[in-house]
A and B are shown apart, each in its own frame.
Chain A
Amino acid sequence: MTAGVVIIGMGNALLSDDGVGIAVAHAVAERLQHRTDLTVTELPAGGIRLMEAMAGYRRAVVVDAMLSGAAPGTVQRFDPRDFVTTKNTFSSHDTDFATAFDLGRLAGVPLPEQVSFWGVEAREFDLFGERFSDEVAAALPLAVNRIVAQIVEWEAAA
């Protein structure tokens, strides 16, 4: 049995824009904590860890930095079906998210019915620091609004 929503912020909060997923996850949780059964989780590495972080929840939202070549600050939603990877959802130490999800199914892990992935294009991702680049800082409220809207929509449809 699964219940509630988990929002998973991926990345490293000490690595400039790589921490944007974590910041967005906390901001979304703050906006929704009074109306939804919402849990926020920080996660530095993907693969099997990411699958495990969703276990037990009915819905999961994953927010991560991405490096797709788009303009820094671009916010994009991915459907799990056509999803390849954002910056941290793949683990070089075990496997990609899709394989990890199938592994969880095989192992009988209670996994969410709905999962969505959000990417925020990073500019600075290999420099230690706790500040976002201007484009990413500007994109943060937009990403929060869109994810909040999505969760509200999910809840309404339920």
Chain B
Amino acid sequence: MKRITIDPITRLEGHGRIDIFLDDQGRVENACFQIPELRGFEQFCVGRMAEEMPVITNRICGVCPEAHHLAASKALDNVFGAEPTSVAKKLRELLYMAFFVTDHTTHFYALGGPDFIVGPDAPPAERNILGVARKVGLEVAGEVIACRRRNHEIITFLGGRSIHPVAGVPGGWSRAITAEERTQIEAAASKNIEFARFSLSIFEKIVLKNPVYREMITSDTYLHRTYSMGTVDASNQANFYDGMIRVIDPQGREFLKYHPSAYREHIAERVEAWTYLKYPYLKGVGWKGLVDGVGSGVYTATPLSRLNVSEGMATPLANAEYQRMYEAFGCKKVTAARYEPIHHRMATHWARLIELLYASERMLELALDPEITSPETRNIPNPDRFTGEGVGSVEAPRGTLTHHYTTDERGVLTMVNMIVGTTNNYAAISMSIKRAAERLITSNAPDESILNRIEMAFRLYDPCFSCATHFLPGKMPLTVRLRDYQGATLREMRRKA
């Protein structure tokens, strides 16, 4: 088997790498990330008090500490048998919406957007957030920074600390908000809604109205008919903080709906000989390799899959945009509110903007909730209800995040297991890289173009490997090597930082 390796030049980036495996005929056989995992996390946690987990796990990753903090807090609710108060759940969700707004905004303007707004074949020096600002208008730079700032301020006072929140406790939240803070949140949420609508209008104007980019989104280069996963509320509508896990099949039929605590009954992990990466898949379907279709247990947990499983969106503006997207793809309705799933993975960028609008609207709803300033933020755990085991799950921006702990009778951790957002999508990401590679590696396309098209394949998933792993080549120095059977280099492509 030949192997193409994309590995960065220095020791730093050498920690993340993409391998593309060719068969004897030079066809792409498999593709995958090679990402060594951070070691020793479970050992680091076992023996500590379970209550420490919300502040330990939020340090696993510098990108989404809020997601880990909430998943850990929810797992602890179950370990201690302490149901959070109504306002505690709302405060947690409020913090989470502010986080989603900053995270999705940053991804669109800094990572995903440049491919569309500046163009996939623009030089890398221009294909970044500055290039976006030059194209869209320089004031957008200020808008992005202002959006981050107003939401980071809210995350800081709601979470009790900047960057690494500390307010989540078993049974609730450690602080209430004042009337003044509520007013600030309301104002920020209203601005977020405007900014989300502005972002969708840019997407409409620059991407959807441009035939070349429209073709890029709707072409079958990144088309995979897989199962879709997402968290839904009691109305089967997407919710990022809480609910049941819903899985639909590639045609849009509900395949599974389960409580997050039952994840082990439905999700298994596949180990392949050619990589040490473990691929999660649906147990009830089975593993057939990196292939799509109703017979393959590969699923995705992304903004697009969350919309695919949702019966419309729970907020009005986001719901209108949701309908517009599915109708643009010609999807028929499968229920009163839901459409056939979209499998064109580039549409994930569009779905992310719809989620941005939803998170902004939901944030405003919560800010206007009459209960939101209630001081009843916590139910003190009752020792009689202590269970010693808990699963906590939220939708991280990049996929369903699950924490699972068990403790002894004193609350000392004996087991820690996690499935982080990106992990769910390992198989799907590999499939998209494979597809991009199939189209490109036998062509005479310039190196830069090949590197970027492969990067675009994983960038759309917004992967974050900081928590399970160390690093991912983004716009870093990259080397692609095409090697023959004996390992000799046939072609080398290199990009400097």
A: residues with CB less than 8 A from B are 12-15, 42-45, 47-49, 52, 66-69, 84-85, 87-88, 90-96, 99, 102-104, 106-109, 125-129
Contact = CB atoms under 8 A, between A and B. Distances in A.
B285 interface: no
B129 A52 contact: no
Interface stretch (B10-18, B115-123, B254-262, B328-336): B10-18
B320 interface: no
B11 A69 contact: yes
B142 A92 contact: no
B401 to A, nearest CB: 15
Contacts of B133: 103, 106
B84 interface: no
A126 B38 CA distance: 5
B63 A52 contact: no
Task: Give the interface size class of chain B.
Answer: 35 or more
B38 A128 contact: yes
A107 B41 contact: no
Given A52-B149, A104-B145, A85 B472 contact: no
Contacts of A99: 128-130
8 interchain residue pairs of minimum CB distance:
A44-B62, A45-B62, A128-B44, A94-B110, A128-B40, A107-B142, A107-B141, A107-B145
Given A52-B149, A92-B472, A96-B497, A106 B138 contact: yes
A52 B36 CA distance: 30
Given A84-B497, A128-B38, A93 B63 contact: yes
Nearest to A65: B12
B141 A103 contact: yes
Contacts of A15: 38
Contact of A13 (B40, B59, B474): B59
B149 A14 contact: no
A121 to B, nearest CB: 10
Contacts of B10: 67-69
Nearest to B149: A52
B110 A48 contact: yes
B44 A93 contact: no
Interface in B314-349: none
Interface string B23-48: 00000000000001111110110000
A14 B45 CA distance: 11
Contact of A94 (B38, B43, B129, B138): B129
B12 A127 contact: no
B148 A126 contact: no
Contact of A103 (B38, B56, B145): B145
B453 interface: no
B331 to A, nearest CB: 30
A12 B15 CA distance: 17
A85 B12 contact: yes
Contacts of B15: 126
B81 interface: no
B106 interface: yes
Contacts of A52: 145, 148-149, 152
Given A67-B10, A90-B476, 6 more contacts: A14-B60, A47-B110, A85-B12, A92-B474, A95-B129, A128-B41
A48 B107 CA distance: 12
A125 B15 CA distance: 11
